A and B are shown apart, each in its own frame.
Chain A
Amino acid sequence: MVMILSEEQQLLKDSAKAFLSESAPISALRAMRDAGEDHMPELWTKMSEMGWPGIVIPDAYSGLEFGYVGAGVVLEEMGRTLALSPFLSSAVVAASLINQLGSEQQKERYLPGIASGELTAVLAADETGYFDLSSIETTASASGDGYVLSGNKRGVIDGHNADLLLVVTGGNDGMSVFAVERGAAGVSCETRLIVDSQCAADITLDNVMVSGDALLGSLGGASEAMEFTIDVAAACSAAEMLGISIETFERTVGYLKEREQFGSKIGTFQGLQHRAAQLFAEIEVSKSAVLAALQALDANSGKRSVLASMAKAKCSKVVRNATEEGVQMHGGIGMTDEFDIGFFMKRAAVCRQAYGDYHFHADRFATLRGY
């Protein structure tokens, strides 16, 4: 596969960049936070008008069928401005899972709504707080024509604002996925503010009755689709972290060229130059990791999972480094709330945890590589 963006992908990236810097600058995030809100519904409406929620959804379900590289370039730009939206959680991750697992009828039912942005869905899988999908205890028991679901899901980001929960159940039968209305009887959400000004929801399912067609795919048959979904989530969240790294780095280099101490620009100091150069090289390397992982998703290649975990692990490390150096090189002002650089560190902390952290993916990578 040629590792450059196609003309269409580049155009999408450019237009995403232009739109986001206009409509979702950091100042918008700051204003949202200062107003005590935790999401940006108007921004999502504008993104929906441009068709973004349909980027990975097939044409047959009113999507743009533009692929994961397309989603990745948009997410990279979102990372640069820290735009908050359900794009990754609903339009990319949840839509991919439904598309993998759902029957024709279920896809018809959910995907066009997700593609238009009117319906938002979110994956409710983890119960441990560290994305350990091997210890899912939420159960589904058959009851009449449907099922009764019970269990607790932890830390579902923006889960309280989603319309549809993709609830993963475990047990001896294996993994299954149910599409559950967030407003269904027995579903309750407890939200907590997290570091990047969003909220995470701890969701309790207390004997939630769902009909038989809420089950996506077969009972206990979700493992393969979940693996694919983890790959999607990992690669795409890596793309967002890449954007955060690039933007933080560019701002930091800009500061090195401006700030004077000891009678010189601090960018003349070799101690800082070398660290900046090192970080630049790491970001270049993570760019390749992300692009390869996204391309492998589009090609559904055999290396898909290895590349996705590689990209998530690599970008988690690099974004940590980039945001840490960002604050450090800005010095005292980098620690102030008034200055924007801290926002990047906060979002990075959330992205690093989302859909499995460095350790999860380094471990998965090793397992996939046969050790």
Chain B
Amino acid sequence: MENLEQFRAETREWLEASCPEDMRQPMRSDEDQCWGGRNWVFTSEGQKLWLERMAAKGWTAPRWPTEYGGGGLSGSEAKILGEEMARIGARRPLSSFGLDMLGPALLLYATEEQKQQYIPDIINGKIRWCQGYSEPNAGSDLASLRTKAEDMGDHYLINGSKVWTSYADKADWIFCLVRTDFDCPKHEGISFLLFDMTSEGVSTKPIKLISGTSPFCETFFDNVQVPKAQLVGTLNKGWEIAKYLLTHERAMIGGFGLAGGGMKGMGQMAAAKRGTKDGRLRDASLRSEASSFEIDEMAFGLTIERITDETKAGQGTGASSSILKMYGTELNKLRQELFMAIGATDALNFDTDSKGALVRSWLRSKANSIEGGTTEVQLNIIAKRILGLPA
């Protein structure tokens, strides 16, 4: 306990000294996130310094082993770091699919050589990763994917296409599910490959969404050569890695259900916009909706804490990521609906500058319950894996 208090004191002091002022302001939009990568242009000197300082301590990945550049913190220490960052409103130094999805899978399934090669560049934000999972005919039924990897002796030859590849046009490398065996049940012929997006034969095409933005791409592979050393895990056993990684993706997307750090609560936001009477939000119906939402939001945040603590204590249930994903994304959609209700007609503004951010973010949120496995897929998983309901 004494050690933890000391850790807290030291962390607080270090954060105070190291977190630049502009990295303590709430993010105004997705544009304020730092994604890193070869082509990243820092939006400010503060953003650059913050990433460098945090990465040097391994605190972009606080719990990963120090031998690959991680922070090596215990669960309790990582929780303290999170609390201390929240205390000063510090932004996350690096948003990254490498951190949230690929890294945990590499730590579990990759060879020592692969870990040495890939993990440090995830932690320091040098390489930006994208995820090659969904295909035009493999959405909710992901395991029916058909992108082909042929064994050419010293390399694999990749042909096919992916869709809904988040930021494929901005990413440096891809972690990709490919079919390496067509003559077996669909889950058993899938492999997990890593390759450079600048490889010959890779092309991307952004998909314009209803929000007017293009966070997703179509990604095409035309005779792409991938060295065999870039296969992770066992050939044809990639589905296991894919599922493990999905649990991390779902936990990440479920985190959208949390209230943003440093932001006003929904009810206070509504009160600021609509006014109060005798200290109560003037619009009684909106007040009760805001209260109902905040109650769920708070209980959900506590559930993430509880599940984290249970997992640490070895009491976790395996399918909790499905609960968090389903609940968190539905909650975020409701949050965006309430933002729109509070913003009212002003919120309809579709300008490309910050005035249109609200409506775009509302439209974007509709994908939350689709991406990473739809709400219905999560409900299937809960029903079958946790409740044991018959197929």
Contact = CB atoms under 8 A, between A and B. Distances in A.
Interface in A278-307: 278, 280-281, 284-289, 291-292, 306-307
A2 interface: yes
B86 interface: no
B98 interface: no
B306 A287 contact: yes
Contact of B291 (A289, A311, A363): A363
Given A278-B379, A281-B326, A366-B291, A292 B302 contact: yes
A362 B267 CA distance: 12
Chain B's interface size range is 35 or more
B383 interface: yes
B104 interface: no
B152 to A, nearest CB: 43
Contacts of B310: 3-4
Given A365-B295, A366-B280, A371-B271, A273 B379 contact: yes
Contacts of A4: 306, 309-310, 313, 315
Contact of A371 (B268, B309, B380, B388): B268
Contacts of B288: 359, 362-363, 366
Contacts of A369: 265, 267-268, 291, 294
Contacts of B323: 280-281, 284
A366 B287 contact: yes
A310 interface: yes
Interface residues of A, number: 41
Nearest to B272: A371
Interface string A265-285: 101101001101110110011
A256 B389 contact: yes
Given A3-B305, A4-B309, A289 B390 contact: no
A370 interface: yes
A257 interface: yes
A143 B327 CA distance: 59
Interface in B338-391: 376, 378-380, 382-384, 386-391
A262 to B, nearest CB: 13
Given A267-B389, A292-B302, A369-B265, A274 B383 contact: yes
Contacts of B298: 289, 306-307, 310
B295 A314 contact: yes
**Most central of A3, A253, A281 by chain B CB within 10 Å:** A281
Contact of A273 (B292, B299, B302, B380): B380
Contacts of B185: none
Given A3-B306, A274-B383, A371 B390 contact: no
Given A257-B390, A291-B306, A314 B296 contact: yes
Contacts, number: 130
Contacts of B313: 4
Q: Is the interface of B mostly helix, strand, loop or mixed?
A: helix
B291 A365 contact: yes
Interface in B273-302: 276, 279-281, 287-288, 290-292, 294-296, 298-300, 302
B386 A2 contact: no
A313 interface: yes
Interface in B118-172: none
Given A288-B305, A291-B306, A292-B302, A276 B383 contact: yes
A237 to B, nearest CB: 16
A261 interface: no
A367 interface: yes
B116 interface: no
B303 interface: yes
B382 A280 contact: yes
B376 A281 contact: no
Contact of B287 (A274, A277, A311, A371): A371
Contacts of B34: none
Contact of B276 (A2, A265, A371): A371
B241 interface: no
Contact of A285 (B270, B292, B300, B376): B300
A285 B327 contact: yes
Nearest to A292: B302
A366 B281 contact: yes
Interface in B246-268: 265, 267-268
Contacts of A256: 389
B257 to A, nearest CB: 10
Given A3-B306, A4-B313, A273-B389, A366 B290 contact: yes
Nearest to B315: A4
Contacts of B302: 3, 288-289, 291-292
B382 A281 contact: yes
Contacts of B276: 371
Contact of B299 (A3, A268, A286): A286
Interface centre among B265, B279, B291, B294 (most CB of A within 10 A): B291
A276 B54 CA distance: 43
Given A286-B299, A292-B302, A253 B387 contact: yes
Interface of A: 2-4, 253, 256-257, 264-265, 267-268, 270, 273-274, 276-278, 280-281, 284-289, 291-292, 306-307, 310-311, 313-314, 359, 362-363, 365-367, 369-371
16 contacts: A3-B309, A4-B310, A4-B313, A264-B390, A267-B390, A268-B389, A268-B391, A278-B379, A280-B387, A284-B303, A285-B327, A288-B305, A313-B292, A314-B296, A314-B299, A365-B294
Interface of B: 265, 267-268, 270-271, 276, 279-281, 287-288, 290-292, 294-296, 298-300, 302-303, 305-306, 309-310, 313, 315, 320, 323, 326-327, 376, 378-380, 382-384, 386-391
Given A4-B315, A276-B383, A366-B267, 13 more contacts: A256-B389, A257-B388, A257-B389, A273-B387, A274-B379, A277-B386, A280-B387, A284-B320, A287-B303, A359-B288, A366-B291, A369-B294, A371-B271
